A = this chain, B = another copy of it.
Amino acid sequence: WYGRRLTNAQAGIPQGPRLLESAGNLHNLRLVAGKAQGAFRGDYPFQDTDVYKWLEAASWQLAQDTVAGRDTTALTAEVDRVITLVAEAQQEDGYLNTWFQSGRGAGRYSDLRWGHELYNAGHLIQAAIAHHRATGRTELLDVACGFADHIGTVFGPPGSGRPIDGFDAHPEVETALAELYRETGDQRHLDLAGYFVDRHGHGLHGHEAYCQDRVPLREADTVEGHAVRQLYLLAAVADLAIETGEESLAAASARLWHAMATTKTHLTGGVGAHHDKEDFGDPYELPTERAYCETCAAIASVQFGWRMALLTGQARYSDLVERTLFNGFLAGMSLDGESWLYVNPLQVRDGYVDGGGDQSSRRTRWFRCACCPPNVMRLLASMEHYLTSTDGRGLQIHQYASGVFHGEAGGAPVDVSVDTEYPWRGRIAVTVERTPGTSWTLSLRIPQWCTEYTVGGVAADAHVDVEDGWLRIHRSWSAGEELLLDLELAPRLVSADPRVDAVRGCVAIERGPLVYCLEQADHPGGGLDDVVIEAGGALTAKERPDLLGGVVTVVGTGYRRSLPEPGWWPYVPAGSPQAPGTPLELVAVPYFAWANRTLGSMRVWLPTS
């Protein structure tokens, strides 16, 4: 992750203010602060969130830079400038939304279906928490608390005396309020989050799935509707289950995660089957070229999954987080950090025509609806939050990346350092850096994709358990002791549940946590629509430091089909003979690195005949 985070720090985050200026977001803040003339710029009432997400990303970056002893002067100045703008734009009673304040729409809270005011507030709160944690300063936190307090005076159940009983059709404020409770200790924030979550599914938005209003959450049996909305809401459900201990919320979040993972998740961890309404499809409806797999939905899935991992301690949640991070999420940003994918399809045809717009299968410098790029920035800048956890009895390593990680055992601090070239190599060295005299448990996740591994350096007195995806080593550690986990990374072929109709008769290549794909650039002389893999052929990993910033490719064997006899009708009697094909070496590259070369076709799932 180091290289990707460096790109984010050096290319992604620094370009934020310029892009937010040219897209009009900063102008809109100045406009409502009375410091600019003109009209609201842009098409959407949620454009303030682009600013907030960038502030969150920049704040997490400041935290990193501070720990690393890097000069933070320039970024601090940019952040301060934008925070000042945000504070100036806020109204006296705490309300803040440049769309409605500049006279667009029919007035405050007049349109909870489309107005996105609480969604905006959620991202403001998350940015403020990041800034507070990173710098200890409270300027943005004060703005966020002011807005949160205002919301608390406006929204409440019938009989509460507050004027509006409702919720934002785009969830986000719920999980943000739960986190604000953690930051401030103010119970009102948690209660408000709980109120909003509870109001879903009772018809306040016409029982529309798109608005997360079809059924109450505790009764839902599958994820549905707009994928990002569903998953931000479920992150809040997990938050509430963690903070309140309510069993029915824990059960609902586990049940819905399970429905998502088993029936509505693409191989890349991406979610969302429909361009239309950006929603989850039916169970096992997992198209390839029309996979929606919005980058933001991958991020939301990671946020939800991480909370489930904390709630339950089960490895499967981090298994899916890993898969999503390395594939469905990471593909959203180009290798140079300067262009983006809103949707992340698993196939692009030879005859693909780019219709333009945000939902193109070609990378774009910025979007009309620019939710994804700053969302990528904030996740990359805060990646360390998703790597390890502590339960007070030791340290759990969920994701493998080099660094020093802190935990707690019996009230005393424990530190370990990890050294690895994962995901390219399977060797993971964990050194205990600080340990109390008492025994404690070091837990390492054995990834779901991994069927062979070796453990070295385990002392004779260690109690080693492998349970449900966790390698748990319990002993009294000494500082300097090293544990070696070696995960076998041989390339492999996977196939899908037969109910996934879209990829019947196909296999996909994986290596470690990475999903691979074929790109046209590596297969000159023809397209990919007619490429067939020999499923029984050898698969060879090749280190290619020259390619795509340095990747390991997987080379396999296959052929390019000869075209059927030309005719005017593409359907033929079953069993019609196929013409023989032309042998072809298949060169697969990691999916996350696709669409960084000349435009062309791509496919993850490869026919076997």
Q: Which residues of A contact B (CB under 8 A)?
A: 209, 222, 224, 258, 261-263, 265, 267, 274-277, 281-285, 287-290, 316, 319-320, 347, 349-353, 355, 359, 448, 492-502, 504-508, 529-530, 535, 561, 564, 567-576, 578, 607
Contacts and interface: CB of A to CB of B under 8 A. Distances in A.
A354 to B, nearest CB: 10
8 contacts: A209-B353, A222-B351, A283-B350, A284-B529, A287-B502, A316-B568, A448-B569, A504-B506
A499 B562 CA distance: 11
Given A494-B573, A570-B500, A224 B285 contact: no
B495 A282 contact: no
A420 B140 CA distance: 80
A263 B570 contact: yes
A282 B353 contact: yes
Top 3 A-B pairs, shortest CB-CB distance: A493-B574, A505-B505, A497-B570
A353 B570 contact: no
Contacts of A448: 569
Given A287-B502, A499-B530, 15 more contacts: A222-B351, A258-B568, A263-B570, A277-B355, A282-B349, A283-B351, A284-B349, A284-B570, A320-B569, A492-B573, A495-B575, A498-B607, A500-B570, A505-B505, A535-B575
Nearest to A352: B282
Contacts of A349: 282-285
A209 to B, nearest CB: 6
Is the contact region of chain A dominated by helix, strand, or loop, or is it mixed?
loop
Contacts of A275: 274-276
A362 to B, nearest CB: 13
A499 to B, nearest CB: 5
Contacts of A567: 262
A351 B578 contact: no
Scoring A261, A499, A571 by chain B CB atoms within 10 A of each residue's CB, the highest score goes to A571
Contacts of A571: 267, 494-497, 508
B276 A359 contact: yes
Contacts of A265: 570
Given A282-B353, A499-B530, A501-B347, A262 B568 contact: yes
Nearest to A347: B501
A285 B316 CA distance: 34
A215 to B, nearest CB: 11
A498 B568 contact: no
A69 B349 CA distance: 56
A501 B504 CA distance: 9
B501 A574 contact: no
B504 A505 contact: yes
A352 B46 CA distance: 32
A277 B475 CA distance: 61
A499 B275 CA distance: 22
A359 B262 CA distance: 27
A353 B564 CA distance: 38
Given A224-B353, A502-B501, A495 B276 contact: no
Contact of A261 (B258, B284, B568): B568
Contact of A530 (B274, B498, B500, B564): B498
B561 A498 contact: yes
Nearest to A571: B494
Contact of A209 (B261, B282, B355, B561): B355
Given A285-B289, A501-B502, A495 B572 contact: yes
Contacts of A316: 568
A261 B352 CA distance: 18
Contacts of A274: 275, 290
A564 B498 CA distance: 9
